[in-house]
Amino acid sequence: MTETGGRAGRPRADALRNRELVLAAADRAFLEQGTGASLEGVARGAGVAIGTLYRHFPNRRALAAGLLRERHAALFEYGDDLADGKPALEALAAWMRAVAAHAALYRGLAALLMESLDDEASELHEACARMAATTNNLLAAAAAQGEVRTDVTAADVHALMNAAAWMREQVPAEQADHLDELLVNGLRR
Amino acid sequence: MTETGGRAGRPRADALRNRELVLAAADRAFLEQGTGASLEGVARGAGVAIGTLYRHFPNRRALAAGLLRERHAALFEYGDDLADGKPALEALAAWMRAVAAHAALYRGLAALLMESLDDEASELHEACARMAATTNNLLAAAAAQGEVRTDVTAADVHALMNAAAWMREQVPAEQADHLDELLVNGLRR
DNA sequence: ACCTGAACACCGTTCAAGT
DNA sequence: ACCTGAACACCGTTCAAGT
């Protein structure tokens, strides 16, 4: 079930190219104006007609999901690598900071990630599920070492990470770092 | 500097009445659709022309500020009453819960409050300043009793309260209550 | 002093017509 | 199979004309 190409063989070359142009323009627009940026503006920036944008990405969430999958793979890989080495709570904290900083790149992304965790119909659900898997692992490890309150769930951590991103969208970076630490401190037993 | 009536004497009776109609319609619309609700829809709901809405409230923030000042005074009074009795950290926690629950009434309000604390030009600045005064008092008392980390500022608490509201906009009430507790736990030393 | 509503600029989304 | 762009419905905001 690829996004472009339908049921038939390889997608046409011009379609692939347009898809990339749209993603690049969306990346620029979301960085500057957040995920609420005008889709007509994105299409203009990509040099394609608005219908072409909609053909590749039926809505805003699909656009964000495409960006996460194809341009932000490093975040997920970072999460996979965090399991070893460090004390477990430190690894969990590093993951929370990484997600918070990342989601804050596009203003509004944290809200999309928040609402997509439990919504299997959302185009962002896959990204959320992958994030949740990492969160689960790191939380379980920290809990096993008794470093975290026993009533903390992975859903709580998901909410707190995204809340950290949301705060980061609106306060100076140093304060945001400090707030990250207060959030992690709240998980301690 | 009243919002309606300009520099002259009492505002006309029809103006006062229209202002109330707009506020009531905005309250309904914001409750249902958040602070991003269509202002044309609000005007329609109030039975006035769109120009009348703009005359009384030049923008969305002015509308939210009007609602807070004239229909949500109870929140601020509650904050004033929290200083006595209880242990200081408990009072601060109660205040954070009250603000979070309140700001979550209108989806999007927490973001407006967040950006208005340091923006003196914002119509919501007065409301934020009053909230900040209460936060300051309660935080100072809790800090004086050594119940709170010494690096926690009133700005931090403001951010955390509004983040709690933001989370509450998107998770079930029980989880939101739990998240409130984790946030407060993070303030403990 | 206040209200009305047309006017302008813009956007999201769909879909018939093309290649 | 894919692209284009007109079409429709809607909104934010301003302002000339009224009372």
CATH of residue A103: 1.10.357.10
Domain shared by B80 and B160, yes or no: yes
Q: Does B173 touch chain A (CB under 8 A)?
A: no
- In the predicted model, what is the mean pLDDT of residues A42-71? 97
Domain shared by B25 and B86, yes or no: no
CA A165/CA A183 separation, integer angstroms = 12
Whole-model pTM: value is: 0.94
Q: Is residue B94 part of a domain?
A: yes
Domain shared by B38 and B81, yes or no: no
Q: Do B155 and A170 touch (CB under 8 A)?
A: no
Q: Is residue B2 part of a domain?
A: no
- In the predicted model, what is the mean pLDDT of residues A90-104? 98
**Distance in Å, residue A122 CA to nucleotide D5 C1':** 29
Domain shared by B37 and B82, yes or no: no
Name the percent of chain A lying above pLDDT 70: 95
Domain shared by A103 and A36, yes or no: no
Name the percent of chain B lying above pLDDT 70: 95
Domain shared by B173 and B92, yes or no: yes
| Domain of B115, in residue numbers | 68-187
Q: How many structural domains is chain A composed of?
A: 2
CATH number reported for the structural domain that contains residue A21 in this entry: 1.10.10.60
Domain shared by A102 and A181, yes or no: yes
Task: Extract long-range pairs of B26-32: CB within 8 Å, 24+ residues apart.
Answer: B26/B57, B26/B63, B26/B66, B26/B67, B27/B67, B27/B71, B30/B64, B30/B67, B30/B105, B30/B106, B30/B109, B31/B105, B31/B106
pLDDT > 90? residue A3:
no
Q: How far is A139 from chain B (nearest CA, A)?
A: 15
Q: Is residue B141 part of a domain?
A: yes
Domain shared by B47 and B92, yes or no: no
Residue B147: count other Cβ atoms within 10 Å of its Cβ: 16
Which pLDDT value is given to residue A85? 74
Domain shared by B46 and B75, yes or no: no
Which pLDDT value is given to residue A8? 59
3-state secondary structure of B188: strand
Domain shared by B94 and B18, yes or no: no
Domain shared by B54 and B72, yes or no: no
- Going by pLDDT thresholds of 50, 70 and 90, the confidence category of residue A157 is very high
Q: How far is B77 from chain A (nearest CA, A)?
A: 27
The strand pairing partners of B188, in sequence order, are B148
| Last residue in a domain, options A40, A58, A76 | A58
